[in-house]
Amino acid sequence: MTGDILANMHAPEDVKGLDGDELDALCAQIRDTLVDFGKRHGGHIGSNLGLVEASVALHRVFESPFDKIVFDVSHQSYVHKMLTGRARAFRDAALFDSVTGFTNPDESEHDLFVLGHTGTSISLACGLAKERDMRRAAGRTPQTNNVVAVIGDGALSSGIAFEGLNNAAEQGGNLIIVFNDNEMSIAGNHGGMYATLAEMRASRGRCGANLFRAFGLDYRYVEDGNDVHALVRAFEEVKDIDHPIVLHIHTTKGLGLDAEDAAHGIREGRCEDNHWQSPMGESDKPLGARKYYGRLAMEALERRFDAEPGLVVVSPATPGSNGITQRFRSRAGAHYVDTGITEEHAVAFAAGIAKAGGRPVVATSATFFQRAFDQLQQEVAINGAPVTLLSFGGGISDADNTHSGAFDVTMFGNIPGLRCLAPTSRRMFLDMLAWSTSPANTAPTLIRVPGSAILDAERAGLLDSEATAMPQRTDADAPWSGYRIARDGRDVAVLGLGDAYPTAQAVVDALAHGAGSVDATLIDPLQFSTLDERTLTALASRHRVVVTLEDAQLEGGWGEKVTAFYANMLPEAGMRVLNFGADKEFTDRTPLAELDSRYGMTVEAIVGRIRELPHTA
């Protein structure tokens, strides 16, 4: 076979038919495809460039889907997708968005799970192997032969990965754990085990301190994890093995990035910027909300470090995406801790700092905080630890189905004792952060970092970035518990929580114009952990309709609590309440405008529903 080998890769069987030279040529073509795809579309390019040869070797040796391969985190699966019939999705610009950036069973029988969070592959593999062995013991034909977990790119630091290793050693049976050691996480590696791994690499796997043997696991090492032939031999040696084994392969993250990439600060090897590559030219755009508000937060905190030794920023492995720049990290010193991909540990660690008298700030995505729900409830909330949680990326978005932040209000807002703040301006955000990290605060506080809706409105001059929110209640222990009345009207009150506030503002403006104009009240709730019953009660004297808007799942969320308040506490008021928010569903890369239309969260749809009510027409 000559020419465009990758174009002829429709299934794993096609890889098996190649000779040795063709394997090398295939790897080269895949690498070129990845580099080009990164420039034109963007994605997790670095980790996939490091795993080219391993992915080719896996499909050369194993028999997917009879042999089960679980990728962790499955952002390392681009090459696997190319080899299982989806290569055009990485070569044809018209098809770039036809596949996700993670494994997905809806796309292929070779993808076993939808996986966008880290550390779970070994546990999942244990489950697959357990069912296989139980079926065999019962004299039945299994649907699985070899089980392979591919873990790396920082995923090994996850607590659940260690739980999986512990279980695998005792369970026994065929289970092959491929540890892709590229010496990186999302940022640099952090944690004591990485010194042990470095010693293992330096000794080519022969040193006495062996992380995996300590669990009771068999172990082999491949120094050149980017040599496809060495990997084929290694996989052939462990195929059909009768016990769990770790195959430790040493790879280079971002291998093959060219001089043009380097000119933009992206290079192969231990380079944080090659983890996620944006399309060429996109880096020239203004900062997005996460990095913009994250940088503001870090700048404000940094100014206090010299005077406040207990002020500590904790990031579970995702600093760059949240505005925690490398420059900040280098200056922060001991005031900054990257715990690796360990959300549960990060939150519990912060609770310990708070108990000792410090002021910890845990900064990560709303979707990643989900992994630490138990620690948020137990170590933080039950213990009343004054931890500040900066939640990035909350709300309805066009994210994939594993990274949606639409569930954050229902999750955080129903934890007893956790104050949940939703600022709607730059100044409000910084004021809330300053208070939550001060001695005046004695309780755990979550701040929902403003998103693009707030930032866009501030940049357009539609919102005052310096607007402050003086709480209606003067209780020093519960600031921002009262709602802010931004515009006082009558008949209709529109409450817009957090990122939904600009929409609420636009709805009130639209109601004021046209036939049957309504001078509506506009309210900024500021928080979603409690109801401001005083304000809600006061509205009943001059209003007949209350409208709630939230940039989050509606069911179980904040707006429904407002509805329940009027139904249960003020039934005599006859208040009509309209709630707007997201459906309870997983969405996958659906355009935001389409979601807003689906949920009736456009200004036109909201105004239309209000005007349908007889007494507002």
Please give the pLDDT value at position 617: 47
Please give the pLDDT value at position 470: 59
Please give the pLDDT value at position 616: 57
List Cα–Cα distances, 275 to 28, 207, 403, 583, in angstroms: 20, 30, 17, 32
DSSP 8-state assignment for residue 416:
T
Task: Supply the CATH classification number for the domain 289-460.
Answer: 3.40.50.970
Q: Count the alpha carbons within 13 Å of 430 in the hemisphere toward its beta carbon.
A: 19
What's the start-to-end Cα distance of the chain, in Å?
72
Which amino acid belongs to residue 128?
A: L
Query: Residue 97 in contact with residue 52, Cβ under 8 Å?
Result: no
Q: Tokens 């009345």 belong to which residue?
A: 485
Q: Tokens 């109801």 belong to which residue?
A: 531
Please give the pLDDT value at position 499: 97
- Residues 432 and 413: their CA atoms lie apart, in Å, by 17
- Residues 108 and 111: their CA atoms lie apart, in Å, by 6
- Residues 335 and 437: their CA atoms lie apart, in Å, by 13
List of residues 6+ apart from 474 with CB closer than 8 A: none
Q: Tokens 């928010």 belong to which residue?
A: 581
- Residues 334 and 311: their CA atoms lie apart, in Å, by 10
Phi first, then psi, for residue 111 (nearest 5°) are -100, 120
Q: How many CB atoms lie within 10 A of CB 241?
A: 15
- Residues 470 and 428: their CA atoms lie apart, in Å, by 9
Q: Is 9-274's fold the same as 289-460's?
A: yes
Q: How many CB atoms lie within 10 A of CB 286?
A: 8
Angle between helices 289-302 and 426-436 (to 10 degrees): 40
Query: Residue 155 in contact with residue 121, Cβ under 8 Å?
Result: yes
- Residues 200 and 545: their CA atoms lie apart, in Å, by 67
Query: Residue 420 in contact with residue 446, Cβ under 8 Å?
Result: yes
Alpha helices in 426-571 (DSSP H): 426-436, 452-459, 501-511, 533-539, 558-569
Please give the pLDDT value at position 184: 84
Domain residue limits, the chain? 9-274, 289-460, 484-612
- Residues 222 and 238: their CA atoms lie apart, in Å, by 12
Q: Is the dihedral of CA 459, 460, 462, 464 positive or negative?
A: positive
Alpha helices in 437-569 (DSSP H): 452-459, 501-511, 533-539, 558-569
Q: Are strands 388-392 and 336-338 parallel, antiparallel or unpaired?
A: unpaired
- Residues 156 and 181: their CA atoms lie apart, in Å, by 9
Phi first, then psi, for residue 534 (nearest 5°) are -65, -50
Task: Supply the CATH classification number for the domain 9-274.
Answer: 3.40.50.970
Please give the pLDDT value at position 278: 82
Mean pLDDT by 10 residues, the chain (617 residues): 88 95 96 94 93 98 98 94 96 95 95 92 96 95 96 90 95 97 82 90 95 97 97 98 98 85 71 80 84 98 97 94 95 95 95 97 97 96 97 95 95 97 96 95 96 96 81 60 94 97 97 90 97 96 97 97 97 96 96 97 97 74
- Residues 95 and 249: their CA atoms lie apart, in Å, by 32
Please give the pLDDT value at position 615: 60
Angle between helices 228-238 and 52-61 (to 10 degrees): 40
Q: What's the distance, CA 62 to chain centroid?
A: 31
Please give the pLDDT value at position 473: 46
Query: Residue 424 in contact with residue 430, Cβ under 8 Å?
Result: no
- Residues 98 and 118: their CA atoms lie apart, in Å, by 23
- Residues 298 and 287: their CA atoms lie apart, in Å, by 15
- 578: part of which helix (H) or strand (E)? strand 576-582
Tokens of 568: 């249960």
- Residues 134 and 65: their CA atoms lie apart, in Å, by 19
* 484-612 has CATH 3.40.50.920 classification: yes
DSSP 8-state assignment for residue 587:
-
